[in-house]
Amino acid sequence: MSPKSDLRTELAAAEPGRRQAARDRIRRAVDQAGGDQERAAQDLGLETWEVAHWLAVAELPGSHTPARPESGAKDTSIVPTEPPPQARQRPSSRSLPSSAELARASGYPFDRSGPARAGSPFDDFGPEYRQPLTAPVPGPPAIDEKPPAPRGLPLARSPRPAEPRLTLPGVAAAGTPRPHAPRATQLPLPDLRDPQSAAPRRLALILHAHLPWVLGHGTWPHGEDWLMEAVVHCYVPLVAMLQRRQAEGQRRLLTFSITPVLAAQLADPRCREAVDRYYGERLGAAEALQEVHPLGHWWNLELTASRAAWDAIDGNLIAALRSLETAGVIELSTCAATHAYLPLTHHQEMIRLQVVAACTQHERLFGRRPRGIWMPECAYRPTGAWRHPVTDARETLRWGNEAFLQEQGLQWTVVDAHLLLGGEPFLGYGFPWVDDPHAVTAPLPEAAEGEPTLSERLQPTRIGASDVIAFIREPHTARQVWARHLGYPGDPRFLDFHKRHESSGLRLWSVTDADADLADKLPYWPHAAADAVADQARHFLQMLGRIPGLGGGLAACPFDAELFGHWWYEGPRWLEAVFENVSHQLMVETTTPEHEVGRVPQERRHDLMEGSWGEEGDHRVWVNPGTEWMWHDLQRAEAAVDQLVADPAVGEPRRRAALAQLMLMASSDWPFLITMGAAADYATTRFETHRDRLQQLLTHDSSAELPPWVAEDLAGMDLHSDWWARTPQAPEPR
């Protein structure tokens, strides 16, 4: 074991004495170096920021961490502290830094060199949406043959196994030590004598914003609270940050891909009322916390700044996003209407319905047709014979996704690199909350002399014979930003996502270590997190400048928007720091796909492979023994709707209502949540609710009055039954 890994192991040890000894070792090294932290870091084999962080931790009052609580004991402390051996009593709030100290030391919401800035608060008061993977359990029993539908009805409940879980291949055995802090990607310096190497690199950040339809379907812990938290802790901070950059004169900063189902909820009056109520609850919790904890004051400042940003746009995120696009700050793009998993729908009509509804809804809300689309889960399949892996449904010929996109005039989409290059995905898994540093991932290939580099091979390309351009995920940046353990979000200084104060629900602890027990989390120190943001923003641009072969080319960086502010609290500030740094250098410039499509030569065309950005790059996250019953139900549901739409005796309102329930039923969120074991009961209930509502529409007299829930589900989304049609021909270059 190297001295560096040994020291990191001691710093993350469960025993407080070992951690304290490791911090003392760092302090002695700095003293021996005459206070030079950089030299001490070299002597210790650590990064400079790590030395600065642990020195700051050692100086914090109440910075010691308690031993693990007894098995089954409940940790109700406000700040985890370990009193010195001579005083074994719980420290009082007087041993913690004062609110004045925090306000002076913090970079949030105050910039040390400028005026106050709006915050990016998030406390995630309870949902378990997309939580880390639970421990694997034995696979469910085989599913029996489906019983016939009762009384001839087209839909019937399919049997499903209990508590399905996903087992990740290649994950290290329990107890395998992991690095204490994220490791920066090491890349060679560019050859500045080479004009292409020294040419500016174009950065296309693409953020995908999505939540399933939750209005009218529960509140806490699952339901409308998801929407409120995403608005307050992610979307509002991102919009406020982009407005500040607009005021500084920056343009073409990123692409915001928003699903129609999310946009419809943001435009719904019920959303504004719920968000206002949520702000009131969270501010009340922060004010109460101020009486016992100095971070209560900090949280109050954060939430107050966020509420001010919300009020400044009059609670209208749709108008704010539209204004940012009109000003040229961002590009807006769309996604399949309800985030259906396109490669595995049983009818091609379903794919077309999702795409046509998406483009129509986007134009209605944002004033112009979208130019690009994010395929749900970045899932793609090419033209050819088709067979469903669960139901065994088959088609001799099914058009590839690009045919449906080109028919609607869409110019670009996003795919993962292995769909172009073949082989294993470069990332072990597409989601930061379940990644594992020891999972088997494909190494990034190095080009032989005279051969194109990886970056040159991953430049945007037309898909097959179509004119739809695929932007390929750049793997260096994806690993650095996306990975929870080895990427930026796992920095020990950042706010921990999982541990919350029991009575207020606010988060008061730092990451400390991505694998640390909750009892071992250290107090959050805002100014240390601000330093981490600044360090990592600089590193990100330096890394882009060193990627071999990227000079003069484009790095497409797609991420879930909810990573920024939701999973990674400091994410919006990190983005702003990146944009600030971009404005002061010449090596990297930001761009958006609509400004890049004209650069792609007509002759640059590639056929893509079938897959997604999920585990192993295929469909297994959404298709596995725990979700098979859903695909059988969807097969019957699509067939029933196909018959309903063709029946001239059925009126258009009932047709639209049936299409809406089918689209909500087909959301990829439901099998995802079941596979992840997070909110699985909610996902099951939602799927069955829409299946049963669809069956009610199918079996009642077509002249009967429609149920009241018809007006509530997908409210504001325009649907027409004539969109249920096949693409007439294969795509040809425009």
Would you give the DSSP letter of residue 177? -
Residue tagged active-site, from 560, 576, 628, 633: 560
Give the integer Cα–Cα distance in Å for 227 and 220: 11
Burial of 646 (0-12, 13-18, 19+ CB in 10 A): exposed
Give the integer Cα–Cα distance in Å for 225 and 231: 10
Whether residue 377 lies in the annotated active site: yes
Token code pair at residue 382? 């090419």
SS3 555: strand
Give the integer Cα–Cα distance in Å for 255 and 264: 19
Give the integer Cα–Cα distance in Å for 518 and 528: 20
Alpha-carbon distance values, 449 to 2, 190, 283, 446, 707 (Å): 34, 16, 60, 9, 68
* Residue whose structure tokens are 């999920």: 614
| Planar angle of CA 522, 523, 529, nearest 5 degrees | 100
Closest CA to 181 of 455, 485, 411: 485
Residue tagged active-site, from 10, 82, 325, 377: 377
- Helix, strand, coil percentages, rounded to 5, for the chain: 45, 10, 50
Alpha-carbon distance values, 351 to 97, 286, 635 (Å): 56, 46, 14
Token code pair at residue 316? 């209208």
282: left (phi over 0), alpha (psi -120 to 50) or beta: alpha
Closest CA to 641 of 727, 728, 713, 725: 725
- Euclidean distance between the first and final Cα of the chain, in Å? 59
Whether residue 560 lies in the annotated active site: yes
**Helix 628-646, helix 669-676: angle, nearest 10:** 170
Closest CA to 727 of 339, 343, 468, 356: 356
So which residues are the catalytic ones? Answer: 377, 560
